[in-house]
Amino acid sequence: MSEQEVLNYNRIAEAINFIQQNFKQQPTLDEIAAAVNLSPFHFQRLFTNWAGVSPKKFLQYISVNHAKQVLSENQSTLFDAAFETGLSGTGRLHDLFMSIEGMTPGEYKNQGEHLNINYSYFDTIFGKILIATTSKGVCFMAFADVHYNALEDLKTIYPKALLTNQIDKIQKNTMLIYSQDWTNLKKIKFHLKGTPFQLKVWETLLRIPLGSVATYSDIATEIKKPKAVRAVGTAIGKNPVACLIPCHRVIKATGLLGNYKWGTTKKVTLVGWEAANRDNPDLNNSIY
């Protein structure tokens, strides 16, 4: 590293430490920049380049993680979490959670309590898959094999939900994507929780045509955030619904397939099967 790069690294490390030590005061951009002897404009650009997120977003991450710890304590209230995080009130706490977690602080504290989820395992041409649904739609879908415990993942996402091993109409309708009778397929509904950014990325994935692929950069450009390629990749990795939201259709700019939660072989199989069936008119009228 050059002398200037070392200096920049040390400044960013100092800024991160300052934010971590002072997040309860919710410091402004000007205050953080002053702590490392930089102008706000220069600091904003330097921090974003090195950390991958803006100083404001990093502060939000630190704040929401602390608020989550407070809310995890049984007797803590939303007011307690807001106060302990240095926020002016529960309204700001609500906005913070919606921006970062894609749910209200109350929903986080409840962790799926009072939510009824049905789940069942199904055999598909790609292997065993678990589909979980609420009354509103599909909330989770994942391949289940010896290398991946889909049910435990579901429990992690909804730790207090009432899970019932039961097949329902939404699951049966979802399984039609693996049959040859595509003409009777009804529109599949989702019941997802995610940040506004994640939801926007997932919605964009749904528009990738069957048998086609897109790069992470393509997705970032589509959502009008061309520099957010890394954040797009993170959002894609958080996709809770395998196959239906086709994260397997996203590849690296180099043409390599890239990572996939259930392995490269599974991704190759999915992409290949879709490419082979792209000219099937009934298939193209489906949710694909």
Q: How many CA atoms lie within 13 A of 257 on its CB side?
A: 17
Q: Is 9 helix (H, G, I), strand (E, B) or coil?
A: helix
Residues assigned a catalytic role: 247
pTM of the model: 0.67
> Counting every residue, how long is the chain?
288
Q: How far is CA 64 from CA 67, 84, 179, 216, 278, in A?
A: 5, 11, 43, 27, 43
Encode pLDDT of 161-201 as tens digits: 899 999 999 998 888 776 654 444 456 788 888 888 888 99
Q: Is 164 helix (H, G, I), strand (E, B) or coil?
A: strand
Q: What is the pLDDT of residue 1?
A: 63
Calculate mean pLDDT across residues 44-69.
Answer: 88
Alpha carbon distance 119, 117 (integer Å): 6
Encode pLDDT of 198-243 as tens digits: 889 999 998 898 888 999 999 999 998 888 898 899 999 999 999 8
Are 139 and 132 in contact by the 8 Å Cβ rule? The answer is yes
